[in-house]
Structure 1
Amino acid sequence: MTTPTYSRARSAEQKEERRRHLLDTAKSLLREIPDVHDLGINELARCAQMTKSNVYRYFESSEAVLLTVLVEEFMIWRTELRAALSRDARRRGTIEHIARAFSATVVARPLLCRLTSVFPSILEHNVSAERMVGFKHGLLSVRKETALDFHSCMPSISASVFEKFIHQALPLLIGLWPLSNPAKVAAEVIARPDLAALRYDFHHDLEEGLLILLRGRLSE
């Protein structure tokens, strides 16, 4: 079935439909391309069967598209995290349970990991201040709500402490993803037995790092 070519939207409903179509198209493309840098406005317009000028009515750049996708990914992740926190009643109320749920749900969303790893260095460029404000507010909202979820799971730690924990966990995620998914030549080199100590396991190292951060917060 061929997706229809879109003309200029007139009503608010049509505009939201076009915007949603662009984001869904971008997500489909990101599942196929190895590098998020390869998602350009030209390719997005072609695959969405919209004109380039029409795409620019909704997003000023490919980075703006990716930032919007990233906020949506964080929101989906938070829903999955909340469900994970409610499972395994025997371990609830422990930092181990929180670290395990956090890391497992992040690992399950590779697109979230890929976009998070490049948002400060790549995605926050070539976007308007208005778009950036919206992105930052979206991140702040997810952080506050996630901190409340953690606090509900472990009431002995305040939501403000969990906010600080998430604040520190973000750069851990940003750094670990590219280290755990090196370029081909680097991956072949660190596959050597004498360089095994330089390998990173994203899931294991993320969970371990989260536990270290949580223990540090508890000791303050």
Structure 2
Amino acid sequence: MLVEMPVAKVTLNELSRRTCLAKSNVLRYFESREAVLLELLDTEMRDWLTQLETTSEPVAGTARERGDQLADVLVTSLTSRPTLCDLISVQAAVLEHNVSTEVALHYKRASRRTVERQARWVLRYLPELGDQDATRLVAMTTLITAAAWPWSRPSAAMLAAYAADPAVAAMRGEFTDLLRQSLHVTLSGLLARRDDLPVGTARIDTVHRDA
């Protein structure tokens, strides 16, 4: 269904029809449409990470060169997975609503394991980042994908506006370019800082200098 339509149009009624089950029977296994899609998002994330772990290997080079390679691998793999990108784009605003605390906790625990696993994969390319900044990169990749995916899929009205005015058309974003440029900037910033400190922790030398 997600190959045929965006997440917003996937309904329990249509899911029930396609699985030849009554809606009440679907709800015996999943408490809501959002619970179904969260489970699917977790599966898609784990499949994606398995692909990254088994099909890509870092090459020798400077930290910047390896960072550029890492960004390119992430961009290429995400671009090839539109269903995953679509699910990520609605995760916070849609999928994490209309679910119970039990479902939310189950999903977030699974998500945390996936983030930790992906951070370990990042360190194969850039051990210089350390655990904290590798985790930051994972988080930023998700956030950038969530923003860039819907931005690069304009409505019919927006497409007509782009076609009507070349100056306006220049404002249209393309997912691959948006993601690649953003990841390059993010990686450059992380490598320049190399704090490897928990979020919200100030560097001691900065505190002393400011004092």
Does the pair score TM above 0.5? yes
**Counterpart amino acid of residue 189 in structure 2:** G
2:22 to 47, 51, 55: 51
Q: Which runs of 5+ in 1 are unaligned?
A: 1-28
Question: Are residue 203 (structure 1) and residue 176 (structure 2) matched?
Answer: yes
2:17 and 2:55 map into 1 onto residues whose CA distance is 38
1:157 and 2:117 matched: no
- Structure 2, gaps ≥5 residues long: 194-211
Counterpart of 2:118?
146
Q: Which amino acid counterpart does residue 179 of structure 2 have in structure 1?
A: L
Q: 2:196: which partner in 1? A: none
Contact kept, 8 Å, 1:118 with 1:174, in 2: the verdict is yes
> Which residue matches 2:82?
110
Residue 184 of structure 1 aligns with an amino acid whose one-letter code is A
Question: Matched residue pairs, number?
Answer: 190
Q: Is 1:45–1:51's contact at 8 Å kept on the other side of the alignment?
A: yes
Q: Which residue of 1 aligns with 2:91?
A: 119
| 1:147 positional shift | 0.7
Q: CA deviation at 1:168?
A: 2.1
Q: Percent identity?
A: 31
Offset at residue 153 of structure 1 (A): 2.3
Q: Which has the higher contact order (CA 8 A, sep 6+)?
A: 2
Give deviations 1:67-119, integer Å, cap 9, x for gaps: 111111111111122234316x3569610011001111111100001111011
Q: Which moved more, 1:166-175 or 1:70-79?
A: 166-175
- Correspondence for 2:53: 82
Give the counterpart letter for 1:131 in structure 2: V
Tell me, yes or no, if the aligned pair for 1:64 and 1:123 is still in contact at 8 Å: yes
Deviations 1:24-65 (A, max 9, x none): xxxxx11122x2122221211111011211111110111111
Letter in 1 for 2:100: S
Counterpart contact for 1:103–1:206, Cα < 8 Å = yes
Equivalent pair of 1:169/1:213 in contact (CA under 8 Å): no
Distance 2:74 2:131 in 1: 16
Partner residue of 1:71? 42
